[in-house]
A and B are shown apart, each in its own frame.
Chain A
Amino acid sequence: MKKRFAGLVNLFCFSSKSSFALKLNTFQTGILDKVSLCINFQYSIESFVKKERRAFIKKITLASLASALGAEIVFAKNLPKDYIPVFLEEQDSLKAFGKDSALKVLNDRPWNIETPIHLLDDKVTPADKMFVRNNGSIPDKIDISTWSLTLKGESVQKEKSYTLSELKNKFKNYTYQLTLECGGNGRGEFYPPTEGNQWGQGAVSCALWTGIRLKDLLEDVGIKKDAVYIGYHGVDAHLSGDPKKEAISRGIPIKKAMQDETLLAFQMNGKEIPMAHGYPLRLVAGGYPASASGKWLKAISVRNIVHDGAKMESPSYRVPIEPIEPGTQTAAENMRIIESMPVKSLITHPKSGAEFSIGKTLEIRGHAWAGEEEVSKVAYSIDFGATWQSCNLDKPVNRFAWQHFQTNIKFPKKGYYEIWVMATDENGNSQPMVVPGWNPKGYLNNACHRIAVKVS
């Protein structure tokens, strides 16, 4: 029944371009509140992007088209009227999200957008350069005047709701810079290939998050002794359109929830959180896979079991306990939930592919992080890992914030080089030079980042 119903909803979604289905939507809003909400979400995002696109197209001339493309459009005069060149579609959606045009759209339903590494050079990641990873549809309209957060579940003393302004004003506000990296960052390098968005290395960010401590809120509501986990609930709709399904509802152990830096954030980089990143309220648990930081937060369940929401189940965001042979499967009992992310580093300057003349001193810089640990050392190699030299490394501004490294390199002779960079955490764990242990969903690839340079 469920499946058939989802299919039906899909048919509606599909035909929502016609005005008939739209009218139908409004008629049924009363009964099928959630269903039509989902339809409307999908429709509005689609129409928003289209509208943006049309507005954009109106403003441009062929000359500006050419400059946007970075090349002359040969046979431009043959373009049919109102024909929109293929390259523009992606640019328009990026523009609608307020993203830098160089970001790469991996998937537009759900939206998954990756940042090229050289654009991660800022010490604090700005909104326009922050990767997007979504599991469901981005909500369209958020009414903050009626928005509330409900604390519920087996292990709260009593269910309690808070309005946004209560949250902001009743509890002390804190600001931390927190590293959020997608658990599947680097998946594209695993072989045999694993299912999901084929991320390069750019699904990581470190922005300034402002909000209240989750532990302050949990103390206010009162939790029972048997609490072991919290789970989040957002308003993003499941892609199948089934209103009974949550797109994603993951969570964190109580010990993580009780850390000072675990926030219910309402600001990112001193401004309201952008819609794609969880406006108006987001759980932020730095150092954990970013999927633990639930967006568009409406409720938190305090659980006496490990939270069993969508994408908590195996194999989602889990890796084998006992390592397995590449390409093989393993029992759910042999899979553990990913908690702290592994040690990793990226060269954010220069962009890979730099050509320069012999004699130049090349400055390289970038960031290193190690989940919940601190990075103690960053080294680089220009001879494919045969020898390693250390880089200057800053302390983190706070726990779970990435650290910056920098060094200057002289090259011994002309030719092709790869610069590899390897971070080591305070427990002595380093990054592997090849792709690490294969796992069924392609998580936790922290192989050394490499850039190519040519000295002439």
Chain B
Amino acid sequence: MKEEDIKRMIRFVSILGFLLLFLVLSSIGVVLMLQYQPDLVQGWLAKEKSRNSEQINEAFQDEWTPEKLEEVGLVEGEGLQLVLANCTNCHSAKLVTQNRFTREGWIQVIRWMQETQGFWELGENEDAIVDYLSTHFAPEAQGRRMPLEVEWYSLE
């Protein structure tokens, strides 16, 4: 009885071990394939990507509460979800909301990120993203120097 128990346990453990090894090897394989044979997995990846971006969107909805949006300076509006999904992966949303550009200006910024910073193609989403940015983060006319913004305090 006891010996049988031990044998069964050893078998169980070794199956588990093989399973684990298989998992590790297959994940290594997947990563290597992605790195060296991207064309083979292109179709699969495209599907995966859209699925993943859906997942991201869901997760973003949890994370991006109205308070959080207000804190970083983003506003509700058409295209906001696309901006969250595409523009906050690499850098903070605050880098977006600090800046002010026309439509052409925002497109230039996107091209610069694509050409030098490894940013992906936006495809059909680009229009909506650029619309959102150039609507809510457009330059406001100002002179060569603005009036000072002052918080008054009493100096002893």
Contacts of B92 in A (CB 8 A): 107-110
Task: Classify chain B's interface size.
Answer: 35 or more
* Complex contact B94–A1 (CB within 8 A): no
Which one of A31, A105, A454 lies within 8 Å of B31 (CB-CB)?
A31
Which one of A11, A354, A360 lies within 8 Å of B52 (CB-CB)?
A11
Which one of B67, B70, B144 lies within 8 Å of A434 (CB-CB)?
B144
Check A60 for interface membership: any CB of B closer than 8 A. no
A290 to B119, CA, bound (A): 26
Check B123 for interface membership: any CB of A closer than 8 A. no
* Complex contact A454–B152 (CB within 8 A): yes
Interface residues of B in 103-156 (CB under 8 A from A): 105, 108-109, 112, 116-121, 139, 141-146, 148, 150-156
Q: Spot the interface stretch: A237-245, A371-379, A407-415, A423-431.
A: A237-245
Contacts of A44 in B (CB 8 A): none
Whether A189 touches B90, Cβ cut-off 8 Å, given contacts A195-B99, A239-B117, is no
How many whole Å from B17's CB to the nearest CB in chain A? 15
Contacts of B120 in A (CB 8 A): 3-4, 6-7
A435 to B91, CA, bound (A): 29
- Chain A interfacial residues counted at CB < 8 A: 60
How many whole Å from B58's CB to the nearest CB in chain A? 12
Which one of A27, A198, A418, A451 lies within 8 Å of B98 (CB-CB)?
A198
Check B45 for interface membership: any CB of A closer than 8 A. yes
Which one of A13, A24, A89, A452 lies within 8 Å of B148 (CB-CB)?
A452
Closest B residue to A240 using CB positions:
B118
* Complex contact B118–A242 (CB within 8 A): yes
How many whole Å from B100's CB to the nearest CB in chain A? 4
Check B24 for interface membership: any CB of A closer than 8 A. yes
Point out which of A195, A350, A351, A433 has the most chain B C-beta atoms below 10 A from its C-beta: A195
Provide 14 A-B residue pairs closer than 8 Å at the C-beta atoms, listed in order of the A residue: A4-B38, A5-B35, A10-B89, A24-B27, A28-B31, A32-B31, A86-B70, A107-B92, A108-B92, A195-B108, A245-B118, A360-B155, A447-B145, A452-B150
How many whole Å from B110's CB to the nearest CB in chain A? 11
A352 to B38, CA, bound (A): 58
Interface membership of chain A positions 237-267, coded 1 if the CB is closer than 8 angstroms to chain B and 0 otherwise:
0111110010000000000000000000000
